[in-house]
Amino acid sequence: MPTNEAFSSRDREFAAALVVLGLAFFHALWLSSGVVYSPDSDIVAYLLGAKSVFQRALWNEGAFALWNPYVNGGTPAHANPAAMFLFPTHWLFWFLPLERAINLSVLLGALGAGLGMYYLARRSCRLPASAFFCGAGYMLCHRFLNLLHAGWFAGMTMYALAPWFFLALDRLVEKPGRRRACALAAVGALGLMQGFTQLFYYAVLGSSVFVGLKLAAKTRREGTRVLGFLALAACLSLLLAAPSLLPSVQFVSLSTRMDYDYSFFIGRAASLNDLRTLWSPLNAAGLEPWENDFYFGLWLYPLCLLACWKQGRRVLPLAAACLVLPLLCFDSPALRLIYAFVPGFKLFRLHSRLLVFEQLLLLLLAGRGVDSLGELKVKPLALAVLGLLPLFDHAAGLLPKMMPVADIFPEQPFYARLRAGRVAAVGRDAIPYGAGGYLGIAMVNGYEPLNLKNFEDYFAVLKYGDASKAPRVPVVWTDLETAARPDMLKALDVESLVAARRLPLEPLGYEFAGEFKDVPVFSFYRGMVRAPVYLWQDPHPLGPAYFAESVAPVEGESASLSAVAGAKSVREAHVLGLDRPVSGLSWRGGQARLARRKTNGASYELDSRGLNFLIVSQVWYPGWKASLDGRDIPIFRVNHALMGCFVPVGRHVLDLRMTSPMLTAGLLLFVLGLAAWIVTLVTTVPS
């Protein structure tokens, strides 16, 4: 394609045809009611809950959701990368109903993927028909439809951004300049804002190799100029993405994700047996067949071979990359070296997700094969028809299916009882963890890509009674299989237990409260099932706040967890960062009542019989602020995962509110970055 990138009317026709093709194939996303659904969908498992929290806070409270009180006893909301509250296509959630916003976001991602691939392919393909083949193949291939089936909402976003990212990068390396740097900065900022950080990280690694190869063919002066504009684009990207990036970085630093472990990283590493999927995706095994899926489309392979045969050295780098990338999906000495020495690589698991980029590379190579067919005088219309091949490649079995959210999480009579306090689920089927946010049921369980380490440590002691059982690897599911310390469960304000079978839970201090038969429940990997639900309730709850019987300072994370594990009572307050003596406390206790609960905080009515220390069953996280009768007071981290404060004698109102200094700083940086981006874009430099 010419370097001036003057698109012909033919290019516009093919781009329009791609949009029409996408709208037709994904018609259910914009014509049908309900939400895109599958039994394996992460959209159902946690995204519906997270987006429900966002909309409830915004529409009912006029607040931006900083905190999600419905998962894991409370967890960051906006700071969770998968939430993507500020990502442009997710602005739909600000004003559209939940189902419509999800479906249209997916549709925009699909169309963006096809168009991005078309324009990227036009840089290497001579014929618009060849680029159309690449765009249609990328938009409709089995891999993207599998992402949709698995409900990888953030993964689909990065899949769509990938060709735009490499397009902007290629243009800048080819001819560095301010406008091209701004284009790369905009796409890079979107990559930093989207929720699948792992795929963007892999894209950045791949881009570094690409840039290195390109710079090897340039003079030192040219290379220095390219690197300068790349640095400019990177700085602008960081500034523009700061409102999403800074809170996420803080969350990651306090999560279990920082516990590096090679066995967790390698997980279900690809095996030679997985190579059977090269010729059929039906050969995939396991609950998550999309993870080690080497199927790229049988329709691609002949065209890739034709490109290698006809174009030889011209496609050699592309062919070499296509051969190397799958090798990194296997446990090998090379992978272990990358894990040990490449910064950030160990943060992620299931590295076979690199295959998303293999799909992109193979399509670019196959597009060159379509070009070769053009050289054989095959008519352009016939070449364009090749773009429809993905429709005959297992696509029909993965057409988006729709289901109303109200049918996935139908309201039940006993849910009203569960909304009074927090709920712990014993097993995953009684109440799906992702349903909490949608139904307004606050749970201490969770299925989240990121979990707070302080809460998971606390939960491990609750289950096993032993600080050494704290997880040493990242945690995804927070399951309650056992409860060695039921008092710690009560300290989380868990008033109800639910299970899908009758269990001997009475020794935990909970009374059996009823059986509900034939309840429709979403079961992850199985879909909608009908099952009994059993309910237990605490006859003597501690409540959402209670007065301590003793206060002792602790130093450091390890000492804090050990103190909690060795405590005889949850009313013993072990306080991190205690800045005052406690000799004057009366220990006379009092009454504490929850007056109001909102997304980003709560209010408590207190009646203290003396100078006391109050323990609040809110999960600790930086940003919590407290005020007593309207005056700000210090709030302390207590018993490793909770919070507390000093309360003088008398009646008081305690207000807790979540703030986000990182978001505030990010917004300021965004304003600075936007101004710099605009100046860079419009400023011209004399030749």
pLDDT of residue 397: 61
Tell me 282's DSSP state: G
3-17, 301-315, 420-434, 439-453: least confident range: 3-17
pLDDT of residue 582: 82
Average pLDDT score over residue span 630-638: 96
Average pLDDT score over residue span 330-353: 87
Q: What are phi and psi of 551, to 5 degrees?
A: -135, 130
19-24 long-range Cβ contacts below 8 angstroms, 24+ apart: 19/111, 19/114, 19/115, 21/114, 21/136, 21/139, 21/140, 21/387, 21/388, 22/107, 22/110, 22/111, 22/114, 22/139, 22/140, 23/107, 23/111
Distance between CA atoms of residues 489 and 477, nearest Å: 17
pLDDT digits (tens, 9 = 90+) for 232-242: 999 999 999 99
One-letter amino acid at 164 equals W
Token pair belonging to 650: 């008398």
pLDDT of residue 3: 42
DSSP letters along 408-459, please? HS---TTHHHHTSSEEEEESSSSS-TTHHHHHT--BS-EE-SS-BHHHHHHH
Res. 28: pLDDT tops 90: yes
Token pair belonging to 426: 């014993």
Instruction: End-to-end CA distance of the chain: give it in Å, rounded.
Output: 25
Confidence of residue 352 (pLDDT cuts 50, 70, 90): confident
pLDDT of residue 685: 56
Token pair belonging to 383: 């070449």
Look at residue 377 and give its three-state secondary structure: coil
Res. 249: pLDDT tops 80: yes
pLDDT digits (tens, 9 = 90+) for 131-182: 999 999 999 999 999 999 999 888 899 999 999 999 999 999 999 999 999 9
Res. 17: pLDDT tops 60: yes
Confidence of residue 265 (pLDDT cuts 50, 70, 90): confident
CB–CB of 444/494 below 8 Å?
yes
Distance between CA atoms of residues 672 and 680, nearest Å: 12
Look at residue 61 and give its three-state secondary structure: helix
195-204, 323-332, 397-406: least confident range: 397-406
CB–CB of 590/646 below 8 Å?
no
Q: What are phi and psi of 6, to 5 degrees?
A: -80, 105
Token pair 């063919």 is found at: 217
Confidence of residue 383 (pLDDT cuts 50, 70, 90): confident
- The number of helices, as runs of H, and strands, as runs of E, in the chain is 25, 21
Confidence of residue 5 (pLDDT cuts 50, 70, 90): low
**Exposure string for 326-357, b = 16+ CB within 10 A, e = fewer:** bebbbeeeebeeebeeeeebbebbbbbbbbbb
Q: What is the mean pLDDT of the chain?
A: 92
Bridge partners, residue 523, by sequence: 527
Average pLDDT score over residue span 460-487: 92
Q: What percent of the chain has pLDDT over 90?
A: 74
If we measure between CA atoms, which residue out of 488, 40, 431, 458 comes closest to residue 256? 458
pLDDT of residue 394: 61
Res. 38: pLDDT tops 50: yes
Residue 547: count of CB within 10 angstroms of its CB: 24
**Exposure string for 598-613, b = 16+ CB within 10 A, e = fewer:** bbbbbbbebebebebb
Res. 686: pLDDT tops 60: no
Distance between CA atoms of residues 573 and 575, nearest Å: 6
pLDDT digits (tens, 9 = 90+) for 51-100: 999 999 999 999 999 999 999 999 999 999 999 999 999 999 999 999 99
Look at residue 235 and give its three-state secondary structure: helix
**Exposure string for 158-173, b = 16+ CB within 10 A, e = fewer:** bbbbbbbbbbbbbbbb
Res. 2: pLDDT tops 50: no
Distance between CA atoms of residues 85 and 90, nearest Å: 6
pLDDT digits (tens, 9 = 90+) for 286-309: 777 878 889 999 899 999 999 999
pLDDT digits (tens, 9 = 90+) for 577-586: 998 888 888 8
CB–CB of 271/285 below 8 Å?
no
Distance between CA atoms of residues 447 and 97, nearest Å: 24
pLDDT of residue 7: 67
Distances (CA, A) of 400 to 148, 218, 296: 8, 47, 19
